[in-house]
Structures are given as C-alpha cells and as structure tokens.
Amino acid sequence: MLAGGTRTHDTILIPRPSKGKHMITIPTLTTDRLILRAFEQRDLDQYAPIVGDPEVTKHLGDGHALSREEAWRQMAVILGHWMLFGYGLWAVEERATGALIGRIGCQQPEGWPGFEIAYTLGRSYWGRGYAREGAAAALAFAREVLGRTSIISVIRPANAGSIRVAQSLGATLDGEMEFFGGPALIYRY
C-alpha cells in the first residue's frame, strides 16, 4: 500500500526481450475513486476523443489535437515507455462507472527536462479532484516504489488547473524553459 491509502496490484505482463528479462509488470493503482492501469486496445474508443479535443490538448506538447490514428500511436508509445523504463503513464478509469477519463503517471522520454508526473483528463472530468487524486498516487509510486527524489511537472503558464494540482501536491515553481516551441514552467515536488 502506498501513501494516502493507494493500493497497488499487478495486472499485465508484457514480454521484455532485453536485459535478460522476459516480462515486465505494469502495476495497477487503486484510489478511492480511480483505477490507474495499463492501456489496452479497448481504450482507444474512449481515449481518442479525449486527446482529440483541442481544449484538452492546447497545453500539451505542440498543442495540436490528435487524430484517432495518432491517439492509437500515443497509446503504443505509452506502453513502450513502460517497456523501456519500467514506469510510465497509466490509463485512468473512474471506478464508479468504468469510464476511461484520461492518463496519469510518470514519464521521462528522451530529451525531457527531468522525471515527470504528468496528468491529462477529458474535459468533462475537470474540476472534480481526479487529477490531484491520480497524480498523488503517481507521486507516491514514484517516491516509494521507484525511489525518485527529483520529480517535476512541466506545465504551460496558461494552464491554471494543472498549476493548482501541482501546487496542491507540494510542487513549487523552479524555473522556465522553451518546450515544444513555447514557454513552459517547471514545478518541482
């Protein structure tokens, strides 16, 4: 059990041919209202509209909404991150309904400014405290399971909601940078 009562259990094994390991386990985290789990093919129908919403994606990466095909590739990249690093982003499911509501987790792709806690939810789930709840579980996982002590979130200056989430989890502004062609703030936990 992680801080804050978050429960962990393993749900999926992926073959991992490198480094003499044959499988990688993607753990599932369960909070009061959320399940953070591995992405599955069945998630595409719910995930594509989330990352296809320009209001959701305007503060992410280069700011463009994704097509269905790009959403599928992004899910594959997310699973590949787990394979390469042993951690990554989870699909976020609302426990009460089983609906896929977004993605939350840990990432550090090539060229990233540090080990990051990232969170993106569908617009209809904003303002309910889900991002904070899921990010708190990911932060506890990063610290307690992965042993991470240097953790950031990269946030666009206009993304007031994400800034509030980071600050509510104890992050403080630690710098600015150019990121995907625009300004970004570094919040450090």
Convert the pLDDT of each residue in 61-98 to its tens digit.
Answer: 999 999 999 999 999 999 999 999 999 999 999 999 99
The answer to the question of residue 161 being in a domain is: no
Whichever domain contains 106, its CATH number is 3.40.630.30
Return the ∠ at Cα 78 (arms to 73 and 79), rounded to 5°.
100
Tell me the per-residue pLDDT of 114-155, one tens digit each, with 9 for 90 and over.
Answer: 999 999 999 999 999 999 999 999 999 999 999 999 999 999
Average pLDDT, the chain: 92
Q: Which residue range is the domain that position 30 belongs to?
A: 3-152
Number of domains in the chain: 1
Nearest Cα to Cα of residue 154 among 181, 132, 187, 107: 187
The answer to the question of residue 62 being in a domain is: yes
